[in-house]
């Protein structure tokens, strides 16, 4: 995967995570992006996804799709799908669930644990790597893998 550009951020608190999510949500190209979320268990992938979904207009509780694998959201600006492939083991499940069709359709796709679906996912527009440091602090690298990803980095 070719990285076209990247930016490193430091989140000292969850408020910094929220601020990053809000700034991304304000960018119109986000509505058609595929974003991969990487990091160890407890890094903050779901927290970031939750802040991003709320910033996009999802009201109420945002639940982790760990057991369901996918949670869909219909918003005024389009569809959003939040995937969590942590428990994903069988590539046949990809076909049976219709994920190929979802990834071919317009809308924002967020994927936690994308490494569990290697070979099935398209190239992400933006790769977000969250690295826990001390306490709540995180080092976050945003890497653009497509021209759309570069628009999101700008």
Q: Residue 66 — very low, low, confident or very high, per pLDDT cuts 50/70/90?
A: low
What is the average pLDDT value for the chain, to the nearest integer? 91
101-127 burial string, b = 16+ CB within 10 Å, else e? Answer: eebeeebbbbbbbbebbeebbeebbbb
Q: Using a cut of 0.85, tell me whether the model's pTM lies above it.
A: yes
pLDDT(67) > 80? no
Residues 138 and 20: beta-carbon distance below 8 Å = no
Please write the tens of the pLDDT for every residue from 79-131.
999 999 988 877 777 778 888 889 999 999 999 999 988 888 999 999 999 99
What is the C-alpha separation between 67 and 128, in angstroms, rounded?
22
pLDDT(37) > 70? yes
Q: Which residues are paired to 9 by β-bridges?
A: 140
């Amino acid at each position: 995967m070719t990285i076209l550009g990247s930016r490193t951020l430091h989140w000292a608190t969850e408020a910094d995570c929220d601020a990053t999510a809000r700034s991304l949500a304000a960018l119109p190209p986000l509505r058609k992006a595929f974003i991969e979320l990487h990091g160890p268990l407890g890094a903050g992938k779901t927290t970031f996804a939750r802040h991003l979904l709320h910033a996009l207009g999802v009201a109420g509780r945002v639940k982790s799709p760990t057991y369901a694998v996918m949670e869909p959201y219909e918003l005024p600006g389009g569809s959003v799908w939040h995937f969590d492939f942590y428990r994903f083991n069988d590539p046949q499940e990809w076909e049976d669930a219709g994920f190929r069709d979802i990834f071919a359709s317009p809308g924002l796709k967020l994927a936690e644990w994308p490494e569990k679906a290697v070979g099935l996912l398209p190239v992400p527009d933006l790769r977000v790597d969250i690295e826990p440091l001390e306490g709540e602090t995180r080092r976050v690298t945003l890497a653009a893998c497509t021209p759309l990803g570069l628009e999101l980095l700008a």
